[in-house]
Structures are given as C-alpha cells and as structure tokens.
Structure 1
C-alpha cells in the first residue's frame, strides 16, 4: 500500500463533501443565524486562519523532509490516519474546528514533507515544479471565481461532489486490493491511460477549489459562526494539498 495513495484518498474523502455536510445551501437561513455583535465568519478571518494553517504546514513539511530517513513508514501511516480522524471530527463537530485545525496542519506538514522527499529522491526537481504548478493553479482559479468567469451552480456542485466521491471510492478499493498484492494500473501506470487518469483527477481537485471558494462566500453571506472560518480554512488546506499530491503523481508519470 502506497502512502501517497492513502494520503490522496484521505484528502478526497475529506474534501468538499465534508464542507457541504456542514453547510447546505438548501438550509441557508433567510436572516443572519447569529447576532451582529457575536463572532461571525468573515473574509478576513478565513484568510487569517488559512494563512496560519498553510504556514504551519509549510514549516512542518520541512521537518518531515528532514526526518524522513529516521522515521519509520508506520509512523507516517499513523499520522495520515490521525489527520483523517481530526478532519472527520471537525466536519461532524464544526465547533471543534478551532481546536483541531492546528494539530491537523502539523500532521499534514510532516506527512506531505516526507512524501515530497520520496518523490524528490526519485525525480530531481519535481517538488519545485509541483509547488509552482499548485500555486499558479490556485491563483488562476481564485481569479476566475472572483471575476465570475466560472460560476458555481447547484448542478456543478453536485457533479463535482459525486465525482470526488467516486474517485475516493476507487482509491479505497485500490488500497484494499493492495493488501492482496493486486495493483490497479491506472493509479501509477505511466502510459497514456495512466497519465489521462491523473490529468482527470488533477482537474477534479482544481474544481474542488471552486467549491471551497463558494463555501467561503456563502458562509460569509449567511453570517455563519466564527468557528466556520476554521473549517473553511481546513477545507482549503485539504484541497490544496490534495491538488499538490496529484500534480506530483502526474509529473512523476510524465517523467517515466
């Protein structure tokens, strides 16, 4: 079983379907759900929390990169599972998001740093390429969302969530089959079909970013409680890291 597969599956399972569980457009209140004097979700609060979480992830990614050779793979596996549990907890209990967001970012950083080191060892320079591609993609999608070049509709939202769930299920099956030494060629195959599969998954991750932006905008308009800012920031982190991992995998296939 590949750590990359498990980590990518974790991010797909915990991506926007989790956020939409906590925030359903059909249940939007007609009036603010909290008094104006109490803490509410704002653009500033989401940006501040997201910057903090991404910063923590980056710092601990360096640590994960450095300690990879001295840390057993089993500990990284445990880290992925613990991170999975923390985001599940935040999604089912959004009021706990402020308390689990930072620990999650720490674990995320260590795991992503270790995985990045694995790829860099096999493919020199691939990490910088993946980071640049991820940052550029994020900036472009944010610009497209802000300018309304791409509009998130209920139909689009449903299609993206359904496709994400389907790919996550495929990865789960792949992980399960790996215990019986059965491999699914699409996941790691560097042939045309394997590359096409990775391109499709990267595109899906990109469109999940649009759902993150939409979630944030709708949450601010509905004046959701301030703890939802943490959940939104975690959602962004989950999606961006997932996109980064999939770009890493795609670049590795292209190089092969």
Structure 2
C-alpha cells in the first residue's frame, strides 16, 4: 500500500506528469519484460535457465525493474481515472479503472514477495 499511496502523492503533486512519451516508454518497458519472461519460460522448456527467477543477481535486478514498472503503471491508471472524471464518463465505467488498479496492485504485490523470497535464508 505504501507504493500505491506514494505514487498517488507523486501523481497528485504533479512531480511526474503522464505524457504520451511517458506512456510509450512505460509500454516499451512492459513489452520488454514480457518478452524476457516469455523467452525465459520457453528456454526453460529446453532446460536453459536465463536466471530471471533463480534468485541470483540477474533475478534481483529483473524483480526491481518489474517493481519499478508496476509502480509507474499506477501513474497511468491514475491518469486514466482522472481523464474519465474530467470527460464526465458514466459511473458504471468506473469498474474498468478499478480493475486496472487492482491488477497493477496484485502485480506489484507478487513482485515484491518474489524479491523478498530471494533473500530468504533456508
């Protein structure tokens, strides 16, 4: 929740503005993570481990990148909600924004737990 509240504060204060360039850069990052994750999965079928989820340094960096992307995704979600309110969208359209926020929050939660699991001493 801390990341959610922090990003809401960043959005409301205007410290980071959601511009088309910001959206394109975030989308490029998300596509990059998706390609790496799918590539890791496909190579895993053949016994090749890229190390993205193994707990090593590459996995830690990958998780930090995913956490950063999830955090910045909140800004996109907040901006979409703001634009819908300004446009006078009907209240029944709010579920789409709520779903986007929930998906981002779950993704962030999973990535933080995954990162913490790398430091678990078993």
Which structure is richer in relative contact order (CA contacts within 8 A, separation 6 or more)? Answer: 1
Distance, in Å, in 2 between the alignment partners of 1:156 and 1:148 is 14
C-alpha distance after superposition, 1:86-123 (max 9, x if no partner):
xxxxxxxxxxxxxxxxxxxxxxxxxxxxxxxxxxxxxx
C-alpha distance after superposition, 1:170-194 (max 9, x if no partner):
2122222233333221x22323332
Residues 1:199 and 2:69 are matched in the alignment: no
Structure 1 stretches (4+) deviating beyond 3 angstroms?
none
RMSD over aligned CA atoms reads: 1.6
TM-score, length basis structure 1 = 0.44
Aligned residues: 121
Please show how residues 58-207 of structure 1 align to structure 2 within 5 Å.
135-185=1-51, 187-207=52-72
Q: 1:246 to 1:224 in 2, by over 3 A?
A: same
Q: Which segments of 5 or more consecutive residues in structure 2 lack a partner in the other structure?
A: none
Q: 1:222 to 1:254 in 2, by over 3 A?
A: same
Please show how residues 3-42 of structure 1 align to structure 2 within 5 Å.
none
TM-score, length basis structure 2 = 0.88
Distance, in Å, in 2 between the alignment partners of 1:227 and 1:170 is 36
Please show how residues 222-237 of structure 1 align to structure 2 within 5 Å.
222-237=87-102
Distance, in Å, in 2 between the alignment partners of 1:224 and 1:190 is 45
